[in-house]
Amino acid sequence: MLRKEIVLQKILRILAGAVLKKYQSRVVAVTGSVGKTTAKEMIFRVLSGDKLKVWKSQKNYNNELGIPLAILGISGEKKNWWGWLSVLLRAGQLIIFPNNYADVLVLELAADSRGDIKYFCSFIPIEVGVVTNVGISHLKKFGSQKAIFEEKTYLLKRAKEVAIYNRDSLEVESLKLKQKTYSYACEKKADFKADDIDYFYKKDKRLPQGLVFTVKHQEKSMVIKLEGLFGRGYIYGVLAALAVAQYFAIDLNKAKKRLEKTKPLSAHLEVIQGRRGAIIINDVYNSAPDSLREALRLVKDLPAERRWLVLGDMLELGEFEDSAHREVGELLSSGEKNFVLVTVGERMKLAGEEYQKRTGNKFFAFAKAAEAGRWLRKKIRKGDVVLAKGSRGMKMEEAVKELVTGKKAKIKNS
């Protein structure tokens, strides 16, 4: 990090800490290897609408510079010193004068390397800590999965009142948490459990309209319908938000109605109409082994004549880079569904080689996403389902633009 960025980071930390101390806002913090943006958005939706004034971290404001800006209520990229001067003026205004500040802050915390969560906890009094998942994202910087677990779960240990976690991903017994805890899950027994998960359809029986499932909590159950949303990531987000609602004493039926109005996040398992009547699953926001498995679950579930997978490299996996990609090929070769695999990047070619070795099916390799998209747009037809997914650095949206409208695909930072 450059010296001026270090100085700026220290200044922002002091200012954000002073604002939090003055207004005594309640803080809900969310972290995890995948699913934290979805959970943040759904928690924000559940808390909004009552008498509480709720702010959330915007876009990708989730790092050492972005979190203080979120606390100061500032959005928009600062490209020069005039922009940063406006930040200082805003902070001074909040600290010196009375302001209509947030009652609750919902913050998404990125943890890309050791010590990130500890740093945030050093100046943010976190009342509610939520951990969505512990996978192997950013393993190259952490060095081991144990280090990732310790980093993410540090948030649960430091939360002042309640720790909320995904029991399908986390075994937290070793942490010996003293706070109140809420667990949620789709597979395991939990305080908030999703069951009877299915899709619902309207006129076109090929194109599902969203998810429907039952949430069970304390001998009670409710059916939730999420229109335009797909994948368990959204279900986990709902469960985490309901746990937060329970802690804040918000009626769960009221919370359910708010959650059912959730709109899909850009490039997060978007099911959209493609060229020649094909169905495109646009999931190019990022990729990691856990999120890729979830996307493949959706592809398998949809009725299709052919299933195309346009998969780009998964980055920052460290020593697991080769094995994680080969495991993708192994996963694709298991089960009854056949895929046409299109790889983008050198790492995902390993998945293709493993898939071809196990099934005898040929795969198609490209160096860039746009090349793969241009090739595939001539192949797809009505009845096909196409999944596009890869790490942000692979620019997989360039493949999607070829398969949908031919215009440049834009990704909104969520």
- Listed residue (33, 24, 57) closest to 43, CA to CA: 57
Domain end position, chosen among 204, 233, 259: 259
Position 323 scores a pLDDT of 93
Q: Is residue 409 part of a domain?
A: no
The whole-number pLDDT of residue 139 equals: 63
- The CATH number for 105's domain is 3.40.1190.10
Residues 308 and 221 in one domain: no
Residues 85 and 215 in one domain: yes
From first to last of its 414 residues, the chain has per-residue pLDDT tens of 567 778 889 999 999 999 999 999 999 999 998 899 999 999 999 999 778 999 999 877 899 999 999 999 987 656 566 778 888 899 999 999 988 899 999 999 998 888 999 999 999 999 999 999 987 666 667 767 788 889 999 999 999 999 999 999 998 888 999 999 999 999 999 999 999 999 898 776 667 889 999 999 999 999 999 999 998 999 999 999 999 999 999 999 999 999 999 998 889 998 888 998 899 999 999 998 988 998 998 898 888 889 999 999 999 888 889 999 999 999 999 876 678 999 999 999 999 999 999 999 999 999 999 999 999 999 999 999 999 999 999 999 999 999 995 454 454 444
What is the model's pLDDT at position 398? 96
What's the pLDDT score for residue 140? Answer: 64
Is residue 294 a part of any domain in this protein? yes
Q: Is residue 410 part of a domain?
A: no
Last residue of a domain, one of 224, 259, 294: 259
Residues 78 and 206 in one domain: yes
Query: Within this chain, do residues 276 and 247 fall inside the same structural domain, yes or no?
Result: no
Q: What is the torsional sign of CA 81, 85, 91, 92?
A: positive
**In the structure encoding, which two tokens stand for residue 328, read together?**
């993708």
Residue 129 · residue 170 · CB < 8 Å: no
Beta-strand relationship, 128-131 and 26-31: parallel
Residue 265 lies in a domain: no
Return the pLDDT at 76.
64
Together in a domain, 287 and 320: yes
- pLDDT value at residue 413: 42
Kindly state whether residues 303 and 357 are assigned to the same domain.
yes
Give the C-alpha separation, 60 to 89, whole Å: 23
Does residue 191 share a domain with residue 116? yes
Same domain, 276 and 186: no
In a domain, 400, yes or no: yes
Q: How many domains in the chain? A: 2
Instruction: Find how far residue 64's CA is from the centre of its chain.
Output: 19
Which pLDDT does position 202 carry in this prediction? Answer: 78
Quick one: pLDDT at residue 177? 94
Question: Does residue 348 contact residue 325 with C-beta atoms inside 8 Å?
Answer: yes
Q: What is the pLDDT of residue 113?
A: 82
Q: Would residue 315 count as lying in a domain?
A: yes
pTM equals 0.89
Q: What's 395-409 look like in SS3?
A: CCHHHHHHHHCCCCC
Domain end residue (candidates: 259, 280, 301):
259
Segments forming the whole domain that contains residue 194: 3-259
The side-by-side arrangement of strands in the sheet containing 104-108 is 54-56, 104-108, 26-31, 128-131, 162-166, 180-185, 192-200, 210-217, 220-227
Please state, in angstroms and rounded to a whole number, the distance separating the CA atoms of residues 143 and 320.
10
Asked whether residue 190 is domain-assigned, the answer is yes
CATH number at residue 330: 3.90.190.20
Q: Is residue 411 part of a domain?
A: no
Alpha carbon dihedral 162, 166, 167, 170, in 10-degree steps, equals -90
Do residues 251 and 307 both lie within one domain? Answer: no
The CA-based angle 33-35-38, given to 5 degrees, is: 150
360 and 225 fall within a common domain = no
234 shares its domain with 275: no
Question: Among 209, 200, 269, which residue's Cα sits nearest to residue 234?
Answer: 269
Say if residue 82 is in the same domain as residue 228.
yes
Q: Are 289 and 72 in contact (CB under 8 A)?
A: no
Residue 304: is it exposed, middle or buried by C-beta count within 10 angstroms (0-12/13-18/19+)? Answer: middle
Cα 276–Cα 280–Cα 286 angle in degrees, nearest 5: 150
